[in-house]
Amino acid sequence: PKGSNSAGPALPAEIAAMLSRATAALADVEKGVQHISQTEGDLAGLRAQVEEVLDSTTEVGEKLRPQLAAVKSQIDKLGPAPGKDGPAEAFDVAAERGRLMALAATYDGAIKTSELTWVRARQLIERITVLRHALFAKNLMERQPSPLTPSVWRENASNATNVQHQFIAWAQ
């Protein structure tokens, strides 16, 4: 039919790009978290990236929900499609109904994708938090040399000389 698009209506380029970036960023962070040998700084950086994904997916949802509501309102104004036994709908009305239904499905799909990405991001933040706590506990319980042992004092004394030389060089 005239005006039909077999692939369905496309999302606005800005929205599609935001969803694509959010999904790709989340996949990168998930790969990073799988390598558990991260440091606290690495995990904090990964968490910041995930928080950006949360922000962008929330923004996508906020942009698309009103658009979806407007499209659904237009569909409601057209009324129910005629039954098989009823008179045929005008071609223009049927084409518009099809276009609006496809657009609503596209928007709904994008909203669901953003919501799913948001949920995955929240779960990933929880995993990162657990890893950070585990890393903190590991570092807290790690055996360090006692400050009462002579070897620690010798090491500090030798480092003090180096620090003193660095300060003198810096002051000049």
- Which band of pLDDT confidence, cut at 50, 70 and 90, is reported for residue 8? low
Which burial class, exposed, middle or buried, applies to 25 when counting CB atoms under 10 A from its CB (0-12, 13-18, 19+)?
A: middle
pTM (2 decimals)?
A: 0.67
Question: 151 near 57, Cβ under 8 Å?
Answer: no
pLDDT in tens, 102-138: 999 999 999 999 999 999 999 999 988 888 888 888 8
